[in-house]
Structure 1
Amino acid sequence: MVSQVVNSNSNAIMGGTGMTINRKAERRKPKVGDLDFKPPDGGWGWLIVVACGFGNLCSFPMFHQFGLVFKEKFAQVGIDSSQTLTILNLCVAFNTGVGLLNGPLFRLFSQRQVAGFSACGIVISLIVLSFCTQFWSHIVMYSLCYGASFGLLEAANSLAINTYFKEKRRSATGYSWTLTGLGPIICPYIIVFLERYCGINGVIIIFAGIAMHSILCSLFLQPVEWHTEPRDEPVEAPIGDEQKTITRNMALADKFFANEGYCHSEVEPQKPSLLVGKETDSTLENSQIQEVSANGEEDIHKSEGICCTKEEDTNKSEESLDGKRVVLVEETDPVLISEPTNTLREKFCTYFDFDLMKDPTYLNLNLGLTFANVTEMNFSLATPIILTEFNFTKYEIANFMSVLAATDLIVRFISSVVADKIGWSNRTYFLIGVMSMAIGRVILVHTQTYTLGMFVAVVIGSGKALRTIFMILVIPSHVPLERLPAAYGLQFAVSGITFIVLGPVVGWIREQVGSYVYTLHILNILTYLTAISWTIDSWMTKRKKKIEDGVKKDQQMIS
């Protein structure tokens, strides 16, 4: 009854102003991480697909044509095969290891800024690389500068596509990498042709100029909220003069009902209060009461207990009209809430989102991707060197790599359409790809002929297409979008550490066995381990889900 009187009279006083708290709804565009965020799945996103694909096409040739470009240059400057594998693996290590910075980097800078900066780094490193003649200078300019810049560009482009697409993510990724796949088809012939007239250093400078197009492509990576559908959002909090008017009316209401034995107290806005049991940040004893005096001036004074106005404070010894006392708040002892303080280690783990490593499925996916990449990179980037050891001529090597790249391109385009209809998981497609490549390598090392080599190129190219497309989709299929940069960063960091550790080991094995035949067999073991661990994890996950569904079904039957 008391609250009804207070509310009705307060509404009567405030109603005279004609002011309402709720105003007309405003429109906003959701951002990544909002509950109502929905990727565009098209529109400007298709320009993102083209920009990312073409940017990678212009920047990657010196990476995927490593063996063809640097094989003769390293022979001229006296860099042996062990040092060559060291440069190669350190490049991949920095390429993936820089991913540890993805989480904090994409919190501070946009995808466009990261892509533009990394594209500039690629151009500068290639120009300087053309003048390098020492082993350590190649480590710095190619492995460190080019590898790290290339890794950041790849991460920015991949994150842009994953941000703009959800339902059509497979198709968008496939189309982008299909455009990128044109490079390995035509680049071997371009390199062989230009080397005859410009020399290997001239070829590197020419491809540095081609890489400048990546800077322009990075300008297309606009923030996704620019292209999301706006949402209606009501604004409930009044501002400016409206806030002052309502505060003044509430103060008048307090003064009006003060003589009736009721009170209304307002905690100081600058000191928010949170009442939990006996704990409070700002107690009622120290709260400020705002009122308006008879001449309309605002007056603020400190209250003790729950007294609200000067009139009630003066007459607090008098009894109310009906002789009854109304108790609104039970007095409790104030206890200050202390916010928990995180240690430097906890802040570091939170900033880089190391909690992801506690997820066994994510950890298994992370290690599996890393082991598969170690095997594929050591074969793919050293393919010309391996085929030279198998007595392939320079043009036969170019034909092998072009057939492999053409098959890769065709299968990428087809898989983008067929994969959704079949309905298998991204992990399944990835495993099919890496196992196909492993089988192709086994056939190649035991035949070592040009005719069967063309068949092996088709097999490896098909597997490489599946590996390339679905490698990017394995992590997003398990990790939410807002944690994706950190998840990618941790995966790249683990890959970088693994390449740093295993890179010299692979070179040492090559020197000890004296042939790539046994080296490739040893590398294939990592692919087999990935297939086994992922299969076991998938079986355990399905079994656990089946048990949980059975328990829920039993509980429903009992209830």
Structure 2
Amino acid sequence: MYDTERGEADTDPVNSACGGGAAVVSFTHTSWSSEEAEKAAVEGRGDAREKCGEEQDEERSTKPDSAPLCKFRAPDGGWGWMVALGTFIVNTLLFSLPFCFGIMFSGFLVGNGASSTTIAWIYNLFLVVYNMSMLLANPLCQEFGTRAVGFASVLMASIAITLSGFAPSIYFLYFSFSILAGLSTGLSVGIAFSVLPPYFDKKSGKANTFLVAGAPVTQMIFAPFLRYLLDEYSLQGAALIHGAILLNGLVAMSFFHPVKWHLKPCLSQEAPQTQQQGTLLGDKAFPQADSVAPGSTLRGVNRSVQRLRGSFSSSAWSVASGGSAEVSTGLAFLLDEAEEAPPSGVRLRGKKVSMMWRTLVRVGEKIRTDVGVLRQWRCVILAVTVALTQTTLLNFLMMLPFVAKAAHYSLQDAARCIALMGITNLVTRLVVSPLADCSMFSIRLSVMLGYVLRASGIAVAVVLSSEVWQLMAAGVVYGLGLGFSLSMFNLSIVHYMGLDNLRPTIGILGLAGAVGFPTLGPLIGLIRDLTSSYAMSLWVMVALDLVSAAVWLLMPVAQARDARGRIH
């Protein structure tokens, strides 16, 4: 049956064997031990065993005593590389919307007399909707399926940019760009960040390189390309071509298969080690959060995959024992498709309005459940630092041309500084992310070093501004900081929160960014207006980045506190 709370298929062997009209698959255990019987009684499955005891006895009699317990592990390659490629394509395409807003619409906005306040509100509303929609990604994917939501978000992004190109007035952009484009970008990016980690264990750092390389590549490719399209085809033609290019994201979304389709069986000698670790996907990249001592790193387990061990093992044994391979394979794929389908318990009754209302209620309940991850101090630390550092990042990029002009540099010098920043950011991400696969690498130190380098880059831009090369050096240092911190974004969530909390945590971090932009952003601008100096605003950004690095010093304390909470 379908678990409506978690949005997953219940694949317990007992329930699978007793379900009405369902095919009976063989069990992986030779007999019911006393501990197993006690566990089944605690979970309320005694009745199910009594109901189909005859089928169990028959299956036990046909199975050899030496049948090994089949274990499965992450693909750590194979189709996982296609998923990694898909995340790169999605990020490269969808990040072109926020990064190229000024290039695409500056002429239209200025030509229609839009004020700086109006332009700022259009863009900042996009950022708020973009971050808020990441909170919706997990509930919607549970309700309708990951790829279905991904297809819809890509189509919405293509429609949004096309409508924006044909906007009849500047106020129409509040709908077409701020809301539609913001919603589609947040959903697509949220899916890309959450779908990749379950596919990799030992090679998670290398796979993460594809994920984090998309944003800087967008800065380097789409900005000049869209500038060329505007010169050749005007805003309407450029918007049509841009929207058509975004449709390639449909191909990328089709790569996002459920990881259960591509699990690899462990060798017989690997099973005891996997059982001792207590996690299906390994300890290094996907730690387990349920068995942890105070003061140690909390570790999460992939429960959705763990639930399918019995069913996959049963299917594998059915094939090995001469059963129907087609039936076993079909059962496995039916279980996979159940995760991508609406709950079977919700019947098509009543009016469509009632069905929509029930769907909204379920989505709301899942959002409420996801927000509960904030009870963990580790998530609070991640949310606070994301809110602070995202605000400083975008405000620094926005202020840099004005800072350069105030220091008597040209806008071309500011553009070169930003270009160097993007190149350094990309190279650092490509180098640092694979290092996460090394046992001696520390994700926490990488994030803290990134925040310190970002603060140092801003400080260099404030203090050393007498020569152009010093401004370029500030861009390089800041780019290094971006590479060290942002390349570890997804890996830090998996490492500290576990796979079970990956999607909820991504949504919470999006919510934190949505709160930080309209609060801290205007505060930085207000400081600039009150002091009539960009230097004071930049020093505030330096302080916020250093505070973020200091907060990460408390991560071991937060881990120990959350561990004590679990033990109690």
Partner of 1:125: 160
Q: Distance in 1 between matches of 2:58 and 2:448?
A: 61
Q: Distance in 2 between matches of 1:169 and 1:457?
A: 29
Partner of 2:314: 233
Query: What does the per-residue CA deviation read over 1:476-510, in whole Å, with 9 as the maximum and x for residues that have no partner?
Result: 11223123212221221232133233344445445
Percent identity between matched residues is: 22
Correspondences of 1:11-410 after superposition (within 5 Å) = 20-22=58-60, 38-132=73-167, 134-200=169-235, 202-229=237-264, 231-233=312-314, 348=365, 352-380=369-397, 383=400, 387=404, 393=410, 395-410=412-427
Q: Distance in 2 between matches of 1:79 and 1:513?
A: 26
Q: Distance in 1 between matches of 2:190 and 2:199?
A: 14
- The match for 1:536 among 554, 558, 561 is 554
Give the drift of 1:173. 0.9
Instruction: Report the AA paired with residue 471 of structure 1.
Output: F
Query: What does the per-residue CA deviation read over 1:154-206, in whole Å, with 9 as the maximum and x for residues that have no partner?
Result: 11111111121232222211133225532212333334444443445544443
Partner of 2:294: none
Give the drift of 1:152. 0.7
Correspondences of 1:469-488 after superposition (within 5 Å) = 469-488=487-506
Task: Note closer, same or farther for the CA distance 1:357–1:540 as it changes in structure 2 (3 Å cut).
Answer: closer
Q: Distance in 2 between matches of 1:515 and 1:465?
A: 29
Task: Note closer, same or farther for the CA distance 1:419–1:390 as it changes in structure 2 (3 Å cut).
Answer: farther
Instruction: Report the AA paired with residue 232 of structure 1.
Output: S
Instruction: Report the AA paired with residue 152 of structure 2.
Output: F
Give the drift of 1:379. 2.5
Q: Distance in 1 between matches of 2:104 and 2:406?
A: 16
Q: Distance in 2 between matches of 1:78 and 1:507?
A: 22
Instruction: Report the AA paired with residue 502 of structure 1.
Output: L
Correspondences of 1:541-552 after superposition (within 5 Å) = none
Instruction: Report the AA paired with residue 143 of structure 1.
Output: S
- The match for 1:527 among 532, 545, 556 is 545
Tell me if the contact between 2:126 and 2:178 (Cα under 8 Å) persists in the aligned partners: yes
Query: What does the per-residue CA deviation read over 1:60-88, in whole Å, with 9 as the maximum and x for residues that have no partner?
Result: 12312334444444333333333333333
Instruction: Report the AA paired with residue 193 of structure 2.
Output: S
Give the drift of 1:143. 2.1
Tell me if the contact between 2:71 and 2:313 (Cα under 8 Å) persists in the aligned partners: no
Tell me if the contact between 1:186 and 1:402 (Cα under 8 Å) persists in the aligned partners: no
Query: What does the per-residue CA deviation read over 1:26-66, in whole Å, with 9 as the maximum and x for residues that have no partner?
Result: 9xxxxxxxx96632111100011112102221221231233
Q: Distance in 2 between matches of 1:531 and 1:88?
A: 28
Partner of 2:344: none
Q: Distance in 2 between matches of 1:532 and 1:141?
A: 40
SS state of the match for residue 482, structure 1? coil
SS state of the match for residue 366, structure 1? helix
1:430 aligns with 2:447: yes
Instruction: Report the AA paired with residue 521 of structure 1.
Output: W
Task: Note closer, same or farther for the CA distance 1:106–1:396 as it changes in structure 2 (3 Å cut).
Answer: same
Query: What does the per-residue CA deviation read over 1:256-288, in whole Å, with 9 as the maximum and x for residues that have no partner?
Result: xxxxxxxxxxxxxxxxxxxxxxxxxxxxxxxxx
Tell me if the contact between 2:92 and 2:217 (Cα under 8 Å) persists in the aligned partners: yes
Instruction: Report the AA paired with residue 462 of structure 1.
Output: L
Give the drift of 1:472. 1.8
Instruction: Report the AA paired with residue 58 of structure 2.
Output: T
Query: What does the per-residue CA deviation read over 1:295-325, in whole Å, with 9 as the maximum and x for residues that have no partner?
Result: xxxxxxxxxxxxxxxxxxxxxxxxxxxxxxx
Q: Distance in 2 between matches of 1:90 and 1:440?
A: 28
Q: Distance in 1 between matches of 2:189 and 2:262?
A: 22
Q: Count matched residues.
A: 414
Task: Note closer, same or farther for the CA distance 1:513–1:132 as it changes in structure 2 (3 Å cut).
Answer: farther
Query: What does the per-residue CA deviation read over 1:400-433, in whole Å, with 9 as the maximum and x for residues that have no partner?
Result: 3332222222111111233444734323212211
Partner of 1:418: 435
Task: Note closer, same or farther for the CA distance 1:514–1:175 as it changes in structure 2 (3 Å cut).
Answer: same
Q: Distance in 1 between matches of 2:236 and 2:522?
A: 27
Tell me if the contact between 1:39 and 1:165 (Cα under 8 Å) persists in the aligned partners: yes
Partner of 2:482: 464
SS state of the match for residue 184, structure 2? helix
SS state of the match for residue 494, structure 2? coil
Give the drift of 1:232. 2.3
SS state of the match for residue 394, structure 2? helix
Tell me if the contact between 2:89 and 2:214 (Cα under 8 Å) persists in the aligned partners: yes
Task: Note closer, same or farther for the CA distance 1:470–1:235 as it changes in structure 2 (3 Å cut).
Answer: closer
TM-score with structure 2 setting the length = 0.65
SS state of the match for residue 124, structure 1? helix
Q: Which runs of 5+ in 1 are unaligned?
A: 1-16, 27-34, 237-343, 549-559
Over aligned residues, Cα RMSD in angstroms?
A: 3.5
Give the drift of 1:144. 1.7
Tell me if the contact between 1:25 and 1:232 (Cα under 8 Å) persists in the aligned partners: no
Task: Note closer, same or farther for the CA distance 1:103–1:197 as it changes in structure 2 (3 Å cut).
Answer: closer
Q: Distance in 2 between matches of 1:142 and 1:512?
A: 32
Give the drift of 1:440. 1.1
Task: Note closer, same or farther for the CA distance 1:206–1:418 as it changes in structure 2 (3 Å cut).
Answer: same
Query: What does the per-residue CA deviation read over 1:243-263, in whole Å, with 9 as the maximum and x for residues that have no partner?
Result: xxxxxxxxxxxxxxxxxxxxx
Task: Note closer, same or farther for the CA distance 1:525–1:79 as it changes in structure 2 (3 Å cut).
Answer: farther
**Greater Cα shift, 470-479 or 349-358:** 349-358
Task: Note closer, same or farther for the CA distance 1:169–1:382 as it changes in structure 2 (3 Å cut).
Answer: farther
Query: What does the per-residue CA deviation read over 1:364-406, in whole Å, with 9 as the maximum and x for residues that have no partner?
Result: 2221122111211222366556656666555444433332222
**Greater Cα shift, 429-438 or 187-196:** 187-196
SS state of the match for residue 554, structure 2? helix
Give the drift of 1:455. 1.9
Q: Distance in 2 between matches of 1:483 and 1:168?
A: 20
TM-score with structure 1 setting the length = 0.65
Q: Distance in 1 between matches of 2:517 and 2:393?
A: 12
Give the drift of 1:518. 2.9
Tell me if the contact between 1:364 and 1:533 (Cα under 8 Å) persists in the aligned partners: yes
Tell me if the contact between 1:361 and 1:537 (Cα under 8 Å) persists in the aligned partners: yes
Tell me if the contact between 2:386 and 2:512 (Cα under 8 Å) persists in the aligned partners: no
Q: Distance in 2 between matches of 1:480 and 1:235?
A: 28
Tell me if the contact between 1:122 and 1:150 (Cα under 8 Å) persists in the aligned partners: yes
